[in-house]
Amino acid sequence: MNNQTIMFAAIALASILLISGFNLPAVDAQLNPTVKKVKIANVAGQAPIFQSESRTIAYTYVFEACAGDKPIRSPEVVVSSDSEVRSVKLAIDLSPNACQVSATQIKAASPDTIKGKLFTKDTVTKMANTAEKRLGDIKVLLSERNTALQKLVKSPDSPENTSKLVKLSSEIVELRKELKDARAEYYRLLFIIHG
State mean pLDDT over 106-122. 86
- Give the pTM: 0.50
Per the CB < 8 A criterion, the answer to whether 45 and 105 are in contact is no
Say yes or no to pLDDT of 130 above 60. yes
Q: How far apart are CA 53 and CA 38, in angstroms?
A: 29
Per the CB < 8 A criterion, the answer to whether 9 and 182 are in contact is no
How do residues 59-101 score in pLDDT, each as one tens digit?
999 999 998 888 887 788 888 888 888 888 888 888 888 899 9
Q: DSSP states of 101-165 as a string?
A: EEEEEEEES-GGG-EEEEE-HHHHHHHHHHHHHHHHHHHHHHHHHHHHHHHHHHSPP-HHHHHHH
State mean pLDDT over 138-144. 94
Q: Which of these ranges, 3-12, 83-92, 141-150, 174-183, has the smallest mean pLDDT?
A: 3-12
Q: What is the mean pLDDT of the chain?
A: 78
